[in-house]
Structure 1
Amino acid sequence: MTINSLFIIATNDLKVFMEKHWCSAIKRSVLDDFLEQLRGLSDVNDMPIVFLGPNNHYLVHILHNDTIFLAVTREDVMPLMITEFLHRIKDVFIDYFGECSVNSIKENFVVVYSLLDELLDAGFPLVTEPNVLKELIRPTTMLSSIKNTVTGKSNVSENLPSGQLSNVPWRKANVKYNNNEAYFDMKENLNMVINKQGSHLLSLANGRIDSSIKLSGTPDLSLSWQNPKVFNNVNFHPCIRLKRWNMEKMLSFIPPDGQFELLRYQSSINGAAALPFNIRANASLQAGKIDISISPKRLVSPKPVMNVVVTCKMPACVTNVNLNASEGSYSFDSFEKRLKWEVGKLVSGTAPSLRGSINLKEKSDLRLVFSVQFSVEQYAASNIKVHQLNVFGEGYKAFKGVKYITSANAVEVRT
């Protein structure tokens, strides 16, 4: 995979405010057709990820908040490799600056250019591990900014990271902690489509395991599972030993120091059983009525379902709504035509409902689609469970913990 150039574009005016070239410089004119098509779209998300520019230049981009990261290559490469690398750049910026936006990039131009020099060398990925990058280029602080201004120095280290030349380049050498800890957050985002009869047309969980490792020395960890068959399309951190996983379905690895993403996965789930509550939605623009009810399931999780929000994009014929919410509150934006019901926390034994009438300029045959957002702790929709976590190679006893979090990514209820 060779990336010739990277252009960073602001979505508010669709202008390039930063560019980086690793091979020969590519003129901005290769973006003209891409930007022209982008300006003609009502939503920038509708732009194809891969775009063929002039003279066989391939343009691959990702969108994050108000920023477009666009890579240009002259070779026929797998687009997923480039998009994955662009996401890694975005994640590194978030790790360094707390956010990835036009303002944060502009305020840290020098650090951004230094990071891009280390992330890619001659168009090929070089150092992509955040822990190693922080040894090469120290994160900016107010004190370091003042010091660099006075002394004329930069945040770039004069020495290579201690583990850069070892067979585990993602981990620093001679790490020491008073308290040795290993914590894992298993986060699953649900994608579901539920029809009018309550049947699940789509039920999929996208999961990731975020790790926070503070262990002295060079520990060797093994993580086993009660039901590893639920893992599909797994994307591993480079520290994972693939042979051990293929043979035993066990994660064996020497971890990086600090926080990192251990793996990502997908899992096909039983939608009716995986959703931590029952939801029923009846709405008719012909009759001008809405009736939504939600009831939590028992024994799903010791923690309640939190931050429940139901939204619906109404058609233009809707002028207003007159509803009654038994729990929480609702609002209707007459300009955006968006109904929002903030339920909050689902308490066991209650069944929040939203009922009432819709005011219409004219009757319509369109069907409404409701989107549901929520989060619940100590619950995994895929039913994945950690069986055992062991630490080898060091003589201390480590504190270990696993937390499960399930939330909605795109849960739709059709009427």
Structure 2
Amino acid sequence: MIDGLIVLNKDGNALLHSSFKQPSFYPAIHIDTYNYKQPIEPFFTVDTPPNGSFSSFIRVNDIVILCPFNKNVDLSIPISFIQLTIKLLVDYFGKLNESVVRDNFDIIYQLMEEILDNGFPVTTETAVLSDIVVPPSTLSKLMSSAGMNVKSQPNVRPYASPITWRKAGVKHNNNEIFFNVIESIDAIVDKHGNAVMAEINGQIECDSRLSGTPDILLTLKNSTSIEKTSQHACIRYQRWIRERVLSFVPPDGRFRLISFEPKVKPRLPISSKCSMKVSPYEGNFELILTNTVGKKMEGVELSIFLGHGAVSARGECKKKNTPSGSKAISSNEFDHVTKIFKWNISHIEPTSVHTLTANFKSSEESPRPETAFGVNFRIPQHTASGVQIDGVKIAGDAGYKPYKGFKGELTSGSYEIRW
């Protein structure tokens, strides 16, 4: 059972907490234990009478959210509950920090009381809670700052919808729904361009602006390659198991429909070769990149920490096999404060080759640059696993023909090239 929520500032002082059934000293013990232990792991034990308890936490900007719970709770539940609470507060206020908590104390306290009932999470869906706890508006803030009494009226029939994640009577002038398949690739690549480790994490984001209660059937290309999934509560799980299709009534607005790990072995989108030579008080390196996918790669950035003694660095960029009329721009820079050297390429066309040759000076006799280059990139309209939107059918009480939009994207996750 989850006991409640506590919000602390960066100094460990309590900003607010939900009501607890335990004695008044119970949340204070959790706060003192957190401040004393300063834990690194997201869980820690608390010596509360009679049998002790646990607490989990997540740091967000300049605040900390604690979630005390007893010993009979799965450890993943409080962490997931905190993450959903953070998402809810960001949906309400646009951002989450100490000033937001102080300015919206009453709204946050009401939300805490609604999302947790007798130790059990009820709902963290913004669409449902906004009928009960009215989100702040720009007009209400201006009127409050002027000293005018503003009382927003909540829905007189909260939880009127039988679907917990979608409120009743949703209406839109323009009915449309958008799906975005986003995959990120994590990889460790050796100096010869061979993958030491590579894996893909994917998710399907949805932005639904449909009136009524639409029932959606989403089919995917290469859905059999999806192995591990984390699905939104709206998905009919048994139908996914039987038919490998996503059948659901969507929440209103933006939400993550499904996260997944494909079982296919990813092909590296970049072919690379890397070499580094370190000498007394200096060093030089060469990095060669080739786009191995059939689509344009955008926003390419490579960075490396050249060591605490680095004082200067200069690089030269070259390219070949680029299509005629290519407008790819390449640049490099060295930050004297962070000691990080960056190589930026606006885009890399398929099969084109980009080469960076650079040298650096150091105040140390034995310079110690990092052993790998960090890589960032994105490839629009491409997925490494082959998972794509195949089709969307809308049934239910729709009575309209909505606009449907689809796109995909492959981005770099934790991607590094070692030398």
**Equivalent residues of 2:207, 2:255 under 8 A apart:** yes
Give, in angstroms, the shift of residue 252 of structure 1: 0.7
Q: What's the offset of the Cα at 1:153? A: 4.6
Comparing 337-346 and 26-35, the one that deviates more: 26-35
CA displacement at 1:234 relative to structure 2 = 1.0
Give, in angstroms, the shift of residue 372 of structure 1. Answer: 0.8
| Of 41, 48, 60, the match for 1:48 | 41
Are 1:5 and 2:4 counterparts?
A: yes
Aligned residue for 1:138, secondary structure, equals coil
Which residue number in structure 2 is paired with residue 297 of structure 1?
A: 292
Q: Are the equivalent residues in 2 in contact too, given 1:22–1:123 (CA < 8 A)? A: no
**Equivalent in the alignment of 1:392:** 395
Q: Aligned match of 1:340 in 323, 326, 342?
A: 342
Question: Deviation string for 1:47-84 (max 9, x for gaps)?
Answer: 11111222323121123333322211123322211111
Residues 257-283 of structure 1: CA distance to partner in whole angstroms, max 9, x if unpaired?
Answer: 222221212224433x2x433233222
Structure-2-length-normalised TM-score: 0.86
Q: Judge conservation of contact 1:283–1:368 (CA < 8 Å) in 2.
A: no
What residue ranges of structure 1 are gaps of 5+ in the alignment? 39-45
- Classify 1:176/1:100 alpha carbon distance in 2 versus 1 (closer, same or farther; 3 Å): same
Determine the structure 1 residue equivalent to 2:165: 170
Measure, in 2, the Cα distance between the counterparts of 1:48 and 1:31: 16
Shift of 1:166: 4.2
> Which position in structure 2 is the counterpart of 1:135?
131
1:172-205, Cα deviation, whole Å (9 max, x unpaired): 2233334321211122222111122322222222
Report matched runs for 1:365-404 at 5 Å: 368-393=371-396, 394-404=398-408
- 2:361 paired residue number: 359
Q: CA RMSD in A?
A: 2.5
Partner of 1:223 in structure 2?
A: 218
Q: Distance in 2 between matches of 1:59 and 1:156?
A: 35
2:283 maps to 288
Aligned to 2:59: 63
Is the 1:210–1:261 Cα contact (8 Å) retained in structure 2?
yes
Listed as ranges, the matches of 1:191-340 within 5 Å are: 191-271=186-266, 273=267, 275-286=268-279, 288-299=283-294, 301=295, 304-326=296-318, 327-340=329-342
Q: Offset of 1:383 from its aligned partner?
A: 1.2
**Partner residue, 1:28:** 28
Q: Is residue 410 of structure 1 aligned with residue 394 of structure 2?
A: no
In 1, distance between residues paired with 2:152 and 2:355?
56
Q: Deviations over 1:104-128 (max 9, x none)?
A: 2222222211221212122221121
Amino acid at match of 1:254: V
> Take 2:155 and 2:166, find their aligned partners in 1: how far apart are those partners?
19
- The structural deviation recorded for 1:240 is 0.9
Structure 1 residues 74 and 347: CA distance shift in structure 2, 3 A: same
CA spacing shift, 1:215–1:33, aligned 2, 3 Å = closer
Q: 1:287-330: per-residue Cα shift (whole Å, max 9, x none)?
A: 7211122222352x3xx322221122233343432322445333
Contact 1:5-1:19 at 8 Å conserved across structures: yes
- The residue that corresponds to 1:100 in the other structure is 96
What percentage of residue pairs aligned between the two structures are identical?
Answer: 26
Q: Secondary structure at the match of 1:340?
A: strand
Deviation at 1:392, TM superposition (A): 1.2
Aligned partners of 2:275 and 2:287 also within 8 Å: yes
**Residues 1:63 and 1:344: Cα distance change in structure 2 (over 3 Å):** farther
- Kindly state the Cα deviation for residue 331 of structure 1 after the two structures are TM-superposed: 2.7
CA 16–321 in structure 1, closer or farther in 2 if over 3 Å, else same: farther
Normalising by structure 1, report the TM-score: 0.87
Moved more, 252-261 or 146-155: 146-155
1:366 CA displacement: 6.7
- CA distance in structure 2 between the partners assigned to 1:318 and 1:177 by the alignment: 58
Shift of the alpha carbon at 1:404? 0.7
1:87 Cα deviation (Å)? 0.8
